[in-house]
Structure 1
Amino acid sequence: MVSKSSKQASPNKLRRSQLSDLQPIDSQPFLRECHPLWVWGSLFVTWMISLLPWRLWIYAPDMLLLMLAFWAVHAPHRVPLSLAFVLGLLMDVHDGAMLGEHSLTYVIVVFGARVLRKRMLQFNVWTHVLHMLPIFLFAQLVGRLAHAWVAGEWGGWSWVGATLLTLAIWPLVDILMFLPQRRLDDADAGSS
């Protein structure tokens, strides 16, 4: 017969913590939230730049798509799917494209960025590019297939080069969009 005292764990045999029990420190609380005017202002300026005729170049990067994806990762509550849809409609009207073509692409990219957001924030900016590559390619492919189905013509594969160029600009956008925060961090470091 086993006594009750032998069933209870002795103080010496308490479970010791192991290295696998450690949880990573969440760096999210230490990041400053971007000011809403900075987010909305950058989206507005990018939209205005997207209206210029340089977009007629076959390999022109879609800067508005890039900014939407960037802010969907770093400030998701400021970039709803409805904003991506409306900006896509505006670009469709401007480009004379099939109505909803850009909207479909923008919504897919913003949704994909929001889904991968928590994972992406654990890595550096180059890994962000690798995470977003399949999302951008998939979204562009869906938009091109929808256009080919409705219009009855295939536009070719030049969009792949434009998509790769768009993603190659992501690190530069990261540097520029967080420049005000980095200046504040440098000022804080210099005052101590």
Structure 2
Amino acid sequence: MPPSNTTPRSLSSLQPLDTRSFGGPASLWLVWGSILLVWVVSLLSWRLWLPAPDLLLLVIAFWCLNEPRRVGLFTAFVFGLLLDVHDAGPLGGQALVYGLVAYGTVVLSRRLARFNVVVQALHLLPVFVVSKAVYALISAWLLGQWVGWTWLWSALFTVALWPIAYILLHYLPNRLHDEVESGAA
């Protein structure tokens, strides 16, 4: 097929060759379904082990970065309060941690959008460490004794899971959507 010699009448009529690469907003069902699923998983007792990664914090940080209009500080604070009530811990402790991570993610969002997944994880490492350190200091103050350094492993494990969360929440839904559109699924 010979190329068309039609020229656009204005620059505003030009369209990119592949608009799927820019990606649209994620499905509302995917965003809230993933948050609610991970929240239910977070209610299990394994999360109380101090070095365990905080999966809910990871998913909320991911959506704060990729869907800031749907998930933000309020969502993080509410789910932090829900975990505080579930754990019967100091009310507002987890809410503060979740709020700090959501704020840090939103503040770094423009910078994080320019980098690949590994560099994003390295940029988020201080955000997760500082938020967990604040919670450890509050717990030490309220309990009257230092809780140790095992909380640091939680932040490191959470950051290590960032690429996996990115693949599961970003690439996998887009790939499934493309397969459905092409009729391969």
Cα drift, residue 100 of structure 1: 0.8
Matched residue of 1:59: which SS? Answer: coil
Cα drift, residue 46 of structure 1: 0.4
Percent sequence identity is: 45
- Which residue in the other structure is 2:151 paired with? 159
5+ residue gaps, structure 1, are 1-26
Letter in 2 for 1:152: G
The counterpart of 2:138, out of the listed 136, 142, 146, is 146
Letter in 1 for 2:127: I
CA distance in 2, matches of 1:150, 1:71: 32
Cα drift, residue 186 of structure 1: 5.5
- Which residue in the other structure is 1:86 paired with? 78
Q: Counterparts of 1:9-158 in structure 2 under 5 Å?
A: 30-158=22-150
Cα drift, residue 185 of structure 1: 4.0
Cα drift, residue 77 of structure 1: 1.0
Cα drift, residue 155 of structure 1: 0.8
- Which residue in the other structure is 1:183 paired with? 176
* Deviant stretches of 4+, over 2 Å: 182-191
Cα drift, residue 56 of structure 1: 3.0
Relative to structure 1, is the Cα distance of residues 28 and 76 closer, same or farther in structure 2, using a 3 angstrom cutoff?
A: farther
Tell me the TM-score normalized by structure 1. Answer: 0.79
Relative to structure 1, is the Cα distance of residues 43 and 163 closer, same or farther in structure 2, using a 3 angstrom cutoff?
A: same
Matched residue of 1:64: which SS? Answer: helix
- Which residue in the other structure is 2:10 paired with? none
Relative to structure 1, is the Cα distance of residues 56 and 189 closer, same or farther in structure 2, using a 3 angstrom cutoff?
A: same
Aligned length: 165
Conserved 8 A contact 1:84-1:110 = yes
CA distance in 2, matches of 1:30, 1:56: 39
CA distance in 2, matches of 1:111, 1:29: 27
Cα drift, residue 150 of structure 1: 2.5
Conserved 8 A contact 1:32-1:181 = no
Cα drift, residue 53 of structure 1: 1.6
5+ residue gaps, structure 2, are 1-18
Please give the root-mean-square deviation of Cα atoms over the aligned residues, in Å.
2.0
